[in-house]
Every structure is written in structure tokens, then in C-alpha cells.
Amino acid sequence: MIEDELTLFDKSINEFGNKFKNTLSDVPCHMVGLRDAYKDSIKALSEKLSVKLKEEERMVEMYMEYQNQVCRQNKLIQEKKDNLLKLIAEVKSKKQELEVLTTNIQDLKEEYSRKKETISTANKANEERLKRLQKSADLYKDRLGLEIRKIHGDKLQFIFTGIDPKHPESPFMFSLRLNEAREYEVSDSAPHLERLAEFQENVRKTNNFSAFLANVRKAFTAMVYN
């Protein structure tokens, strides 16, 4: 029974095959032309697609190049921006230094002005004091045989005469000046007086210049008689 069914199935297949062959033999010739036209259309479409693809590839390349240019420009802009910020910071720093320097210069000017005023006041006071000494010299000249001269270094030179009876014109002298503290400073005695430093200390304490001159003359006189 199974063999009959297989035989029947083979027969059905053979009949279907024969019918299919007969059907294919009846296809018109114009189908071949359609097939060729289809192939030509596919080929033309492929060529167009190929051209389009190449154009798109060029567009992609151009876009990538543009992107690279944009990146380079952005990098250059950032570098210029950084340099500008650095320059601005340096300008601000220089401006601050200039302000500090200007302030220091102004302080120095004010300090110089104060010192100049102080020195000017001290010089005027010294000049007045020297003038008073010069006036006093006129009083002492006849009584003590004293002559006062102004010498180098803003000093006054005191010259006594008439001390040595044997040689009345022989000079006995010392120099005097006012130091920065506006104190009497005695030096250069000729002949040398041992007590000159003592006399200087006394006149600084008492400010009695007449007594100072008298003591110096007495010391020169004692030197002669001794």
C-alpha cells in the first residue's frame, strides 16, 4: 500500500514537471527584452548611485576639512585670548607697581621736603648764632685782644694776642664750630691746651660763652707764665 502511494506521488511530480516545462516554453520573447532593459536600468542606477556616493564622500571630506579648519581657528583664537588675558594681567601688575612707586616717590618728596625744612631751620639758627658770636667778637677784641675769623668747614677761629708780654703779637688760637646737634665743638688749639675738652663740656652745659673765652685765655696765659 505504501509502494502504491509512492508510485502515485512520483507520477504526480512528473506530471507537474512536464506542465512547468511546457509553460516556460510558451513565455513570449519580449520578456527577454524587459529583462535586458531592467539590467540596463540597474546598471544606470548603479552608476548614478556611484557618482552620488562619490559626491557625498567629497562632501564628507570637505566637511571634515572645514571642521579641522574650525578647530585650528578655535585653537588660534583661544591662544590669542590667553595671550590677551596674560597681557592684561601684566598691565594690571605694572599699573599696581606704578601706583606703589608713585606713592613711594611722593613719600620721599614729602620726607625730603621735611628734612630740607629742618636743615634750613638749623642752618638759619646756626647763622644767627654765628652772627651773635661775630658781634661778641667786636666786644672782646679790644678787651681781650681777640680776633675771630671764619675759616673752612663752617668754623670760627679765635685768635688771642697780648698774652705773652715778651711777644704781644704772638697768636694763641683755637677753632670752634656748631655740630649737627647744635652743640659747641672746640678743636685745633695752638699751642695745645690740655683742658680744652673740659672747657668744651662746661660751655655746653652752661651756655656761658663769655666765661668760656675767659677760661681759655686764662689757660693760655697760665701756659706762658708756667
In a domain, 134, yes or no: yes
The number of distinct structural domains making up the chain is 1
What's the rounded Cα separation, in Å, for the pair 74 and 127?
Answer: 77
What CA–CA distances, in Å, run from 205 to 94, 180, 201, 212? 56, 17, 6, 11
pLDDT at 23 (0 to 100): 62
Q: What is the pLDDT of residues 185-216, one digit of tens each?
A: 999 999 999 999 999 999 999 999 889 999 99
What's the rounded Cα separation, in Å, for the pair 49 and 207?
Answer: 123
In a domain, 156, yes or no: yes
Q: Which long-range contacts (CB under 8 A, 24 or more apart) does 45-50 make?
A: none
In a domain, 21, yes or no: no
Q: What is the pLDDT of residues 154-166, one digit of tens each?
A: 899 999 999 999 9
Q: What is the pLDDT of residues 38-62, one digit of tens each?
A: 677 777 777 877 888 788 888 888 8
Residue 138: pLDDT band with limits 50, 70, 90: low
In a domain, 170, yes or no: yes
In a domain, 169, yes or no: yes
Cell (9 digits) for 105:
616717590
Q: Residue 130: which CATH number?
A: 3.30.457.50
Query: What is residue 16's DSSP assignment?
Result: H
What's the rounded Cα separation, in Å, for the pair 71 and 67?
Answer: 6
Cell (9 digits) for 176:
670752634
Task: Examine residue 191 and say whether the peptide bond preceding it is cis (omega within 30 degrees of 0).
Answer: yes
- The pTM is what? 0.41
What's the rounded Cα separation, in Å, for the pair 204 and 196?
Answer: 12
Q: Which long-range contacts (CB under 8 A, 24 or more apart) does 138-143 make?
A: 140/213
pLDDT at 117 (0 to 100): 81
In a domain, 7, yes or no: no
In a domain, 47, yes or no: no
Structural domain harbouring 155: 125-225
CA-CA-CA-CA dihedral for 34, 38, 40, 44, to nearest 10: 150
